Amino acid sequence: MNNPVIIEADGGSRGNPGSAGSGAILIDSVTGAVLGEIALYIGVATNNVAEYRAVLAAIELANEIAPEVRLHVRMDSKLVVEQMSGRWKIKHDSMSELSVLVAKAIGNRQVDFEWIPREQNTRADALANEAMDAETSVVRKFVSSNDTQSISVISTGESASTLEYNSTLPSSVRAPKNVKSPLTTLILVRHGRTALTESHRLSGRGGEDPQLSELGILDASNVAAELLKVGVTGFLSSVEAASVIVSSPIRRTRETAEIIGKQLGLPVEVEQDIAEISFGEWDGHTNAQVQQKWPEQFEAWKGDIRIAPPGGGESLEEFDKRVQEGRKRILSKYAGQTVIVVSHVMPIRGFIKTAFASDWPSYWRISVAPCSMSVLRFWGEEAAEVTCTNYCGHQ
């Protein structure tokens, strides 16, 4: 279509913050035909967050059904209109994050914002209340033939990623529902690439401690942009936004965490026990070099979790005990929150091993790419759920 599209958007919160919903309607500015409706349930949030979420969802839908045309956004939120028009400064971190996502969704297309009185925004308000009443989300897209009066619904319902998702308890019907510990969500992020990563060399605790390479800095920036979407849009839209970042003490993880923290406006804490396993004298070597120089020790190490590399390395058994203590401290200190944990291949595998209630083979059966995301949900030590592992869609 070529006609400009009008977006009417609104958000509400019953408690501010409280149960919140966003609503938006997309309208052909010439014919008056309704192109789409959005009723988005977003859990506990403020009015301002709900209103920004309404705009974001509407522009994303417009990008799908009318990607080329000018958009005219009409809202009764003076705050969102003035901030997105560039006339008011954005001071609150959550508003800043959402405004970045809206700006990215807009891209290069022409969009203008207009404030309207509340009584002129009743359709979007009704959709926001529909979401809050039903505590679920729905997107309705409408199409027509040359006869603009002939309109039919072509999609409706929740996204596949949230259809069977329980936001407070384990989702499976067989999982325990009588848990007493609060839900703590861990978003595990491996550090970005280093020179040793790129040359396939072992790099553990107590080794060279390299900094991020140029590609590693790009890795960290890309995952930071993806983490901005948590709790807002995308496959982790139902996950509560993170409140803190916990990093391994090793340089490459701290640098990755600092890039993420700057983008998200979050503090970075350090947990010593989620550092990478120590490879001792093998650090800085490729596996082929280790196998050639220490053939008997290498073969013994591969087959026994109690054997450590020479020169102060850690056995897998010793390492696992350490990393699980770090995991437990994170769950205890940040109980009930969403935590971004920036660590390494082996600690991330250790966390996943526990979530799956699996044994030692988890340490060599799970892929963990640089700056990949793995999302685990823990109810203390009572229950756990794996949302995803090694997600790399942002790379």
Active site residues: 191, 276
Q: What tokens were used for 199?
A: 């040359």
- Three-class SS of 82-95: HHHCCCCCCCCHHH
d(CA 129, CA 70): 28
144-167 per-residue burial string, b: 16 or more CB within 10 A, e: under 16: beeeeeeeeeeeeeeeeebeeeee
**What single string gives the DSSP state of each residue in 277-332?**
PP-GGGTT--HHHHHHHSHHHHHHHHH-TT---TTT---HHHHHHHHHHHHHHHHH
* CB atoms inside a 10 Å sphere around CB 203: 23
Q: How far is CA 265 from CA 50, 208, 259, 318, in A?
A: 20, 30, 10, 35
Torsion angle, CA of 391/163/232/374, rounded to 10 degrees? -20
